[in-house]
A and B are shown apart, each in its own frame.
Chain A
Amino acid sequence: MPIKVKIPTPLQKLTKNQAEVESEGKTVQELIDDLEKNYPGIKERICDEKGKVRRFINIYVNEEDVRFLKGDDTPVKDGDEISIIPAIAGGAS
């Protein structure tokens, strides 16, 4: 079953400006790999060379940060909402 993934503004160029896309998989890792198939280039923006999620980007399954669950192996199921949230900096000048 496809799972909805919310794409942050900085990565929407890779998803043809879609803020929400569908992905298939049983774990967060599988979802990211499936995203890469449909939207090439997105994985290297989310993950470092070792395939780990970068330290200024978080992935949430519903409202929980996967770093505090099972990381990339966190299971996902139909109906879950996945969000990719990067740190953002703007504010002053």
Chain B
Amino acid sequence: MSDFTDEQVKRYSRQIILPQVGGKGQRKLFEAKVLIIGAGGLGSPASLYLAAAGVGHLGIVDSDEVEVSNLQRQILHSTRDVGRPKTSSAKDRLTNLNPDVEVIVHEVRVTSENILNIIKDYDIVIDGSDNFPTRYLVNDACVISRKPLSHGGIFRFDGQAITIIPGKGPCYRCLFPEPPPRGLVPSCQEAGILGAVAGVIGLIQANEVLKFILDIGELLVGKLLIFNALESSFRQVAVPKDKNCPVCGDNPTITELIDYEEFCSLR
């Protein structure tokens, strides 16, 4: 532990003391590079806890500015940040929380053109995006570049999370082969979300990423975690790898990234 400062040993003492973490685990966290797509309802709790834990390099992708209606759940941002780019607000908040963390800002919207280049330098990706086109793009890009991915989704009082380790377990398309066509999902403007639901799922994602980096416990690989806030219930269903999966199956039909038309975003 000689390369930690006294201050750092104190800061992380409550987790270094865990036999599953220790100085070695803390070093792994320092060296880890995690990309968070979306500095919103899921990305906020996820990035705050990863920064607090001392994950050394956090990339934040977002092209939006903070709006006052975000603040009910997007706890990275404060009232005074309204109108600022979310990436700037996120960087300030995370750096204030823990100056050990390098925050890398990607103030863009991910597309089929840029995503492979953005994810390539990271160890694992957290998808906290707000729409189906991005979610399928992120899944396909991670499968194609064999990049681990923590997926989380929320809708009203429901949440879902799954961890995708390409080559080892199923991907998001093994679970849901195609996004819903336009018009078949309820209007997202009227959907609504309880902030705490985003918090629960975002923290499940942070927890998955910490376990992945530390190489401890069991990941949500091949299992979909389903949370319902009204019942306070968690359940898991089995997600087998689909040999007919269009992107990771035996004869994939998707070999290039697709930009689905944007049809639904929780604005």
* Residues of chain A having any CB pair with chain B under 8 Å: 8-10, 19, 45, 54-58, 60, 63-65, 67-68, 83, 85-93
- In the assembled complex, 25 residue pairs joining A and B whose CB atoms fall closer than 8 Å, in A order, are A9-B156, A10-B186, A19-B230, A45-B184, A54-B180, A65-B239, A68-B240, A85-B160, A86-B176, A87-B176, A88-B160, A89-B129, A89-B131, A89-B153, A90-B193, A90-B266, A91-B127, A91-B129, A91-B198, A91-B266, A92-B129, A93-B40, A93-B64, A93-B70, A93-B265
Residues of A with C-beta under 8 A to B186: 10
Please state if B266 and A10 are interface contacts (CB–CB under 8 Å): no
Which of A45, A65, A90 sits near B237, CB closer than 8 Å? Answer: A65
Please state if B224 and A85 are interface contacts (CB–CB under 8 Å): yes
Extra pairs beyond A63-B235, A85-B224, A89-B185 (14, CB < 8 Å) = A55-B177, A55-B178, A56-B177, A56-B180, A58-B176, A65-B240, A87-B180, A88-B155, A89-B135, A90-B266, A91-B38, A91-B153, A91-B266, A92-B38
State in angstroms the CA–CA spacing of A30 and B224 once bound together: 26
Report B84 CB to chain A, min CB distance, Å: 14
Please state if B128 and A87 are interface contacts (CB–CB under 8 Å): no
How many chain B residues touch the partner (CB < 8 A)?
Answer: 55
* Closest A-B pairs by Cβ, 3 of them: A92-B40, A92-B38, A92-B130
Report A66 CB to chain B, min CB distance, Å: 11
Please state if A93 and B266 are interface contacts (CB–CB under 8 Å): yes
B34-60 vs A, Cβ < 8 Å mask (1 yes, 0 no): 000011111100000000000000000
Report B173 CB to chain A, min CB distance, Å: 9
Please state if B237 and A63 are interface contacts (CB–CB under 8 Å): yes
Question: B175 at interface (Cβ–Cβ under 8 A)?
Answer: yes
Question: B158 at interface (Cβ–Cβ under 8 A)?
Answer: yes
Residues of A with C-beta under 8 A to B228: 19
* Residues of chain B having any CB pair with chain A under 8 Å: 38-43, 62, 64, 67, 70, 127-132, 135, 152-160, 175-180, 184-186, 188, 191, 193, 198, 224, 226, 228, 230-231, 235-240, 242, 264-267
Residues of A with C-beta under 8 A to B178: 55-56
Please state if A92 and B128 are interface contacts (CB–CB under 8 Å): yes
Please state if B176 and A10 are interface contacts (CB–CB under 8 Å): no
Please state if A63 and B236 are interface contacts (CB–CB under 8 Å): yes
Residues of A with C-beta under 8 A to B135: 89
State in angstroms the CA–CA spacing of A93 and B43 once bound together: 10
Please state if A91 and B128 are interface contacts (CB–CB under 8 Å): yes
State in angstroms the CA–CA spacing of A91 and B152 once bound together: 7
Report A84 CB to chain B, min CB distance, Å: 11
Which of B62, B153, B156, B236 sits near A87, CB closer than 8 Å? Answer: B153
State in angstroms the CA–CA spacing of A36 and B221 once bound together: 34
